[in-house]
Amino acid sequence: MSKRAQVISLPARHVQKIDPQRPAAEQIASSLKAAILEMSLKPGQIISETEIGNLYGASRTPVREAFTWLRDQGLIVTLPSRGNYVSKLSVPEIAGAQFARASLEVAIAERLCEKGLPPETIQEIETNLALQHDLALHHDMEGTDNSSAFHTLDDNFHLALADAVGHRRISDIIQREKGYLDRLRFLSLRSKAHMAELATDHSNIFDAIRSGDKTASRRLVRAHLHRVRETLTQFSEENRECFEDE
- Residue 18 DSSP class: P
Contact predicate 156/128, CB 8 Å = yes
Whether the full predicted model's pTM is greater than 0.85, yes or no, is: no
Segment (H or E) for 86: strand 83-86
pLDDT band at 130 (very low <50, low <70, confident <90, very high): very high
Is residue 84 classed as helix, strand or coil in its secondary structure? strand
Q: Lowest mean pLDDT: which of 81-90, 209-218, 234-243?
A: 234-243
pLDDT band at 146 (very low <50, low <70, confident <90, very high): confident
Separation of alpha carbons 147 and 152, rounded Å: 9
For the stretch 150-200, pLDDT in tens is 989 999 999 999 999 999 899 999 988 888 888 888 887 877 888 999 999
Segment (H or E) for 76: strand 76-79
| Per-residue model confidence (pLDDT) at position 62 | 95
Q: What are phi and psi of 76, to 5 degrees?
A: -135, 155
How far is residue 107 CA from its own chain's centroid?
21
Is residue 46 classed as helix, strand or coil in its secondary structure? strand
Is residue 89 classed as helix, strand or coil in its secondary structure? strand
- Residue 243 DSSP class: B
Is residue 83 classed as helix, strand or coil in its secondary structure? strand
Kindly tell me the burial class for residue 21, based on how many C-beta atoms sit within 10 Å of its own C-beta (0-12, 13-18, 19 or more).
Answer: exposed
For the stretch 36-90, pLDDT in tens is 988 889 899 999 999 999 888 899 999 999 999 999 888 999 988 889 999 999 9
pLDDT band at 14 (very low <50, low <70, confident <90, very high): low
Q: From the CB of residue 179, how many other CB atoms can be counted at a distance below 10 Å?
A: 16
Which bin fits 83, alpha (ψ -120 to 50), beta or left (φ > 0)?
left
Kindly list the structural domains of the chain, giving each domain's residue range(s) and its CATH number in brackets, ordered by start. Answer: 12-86 (1.10.10.10), 91-242 (1.20.120.530)
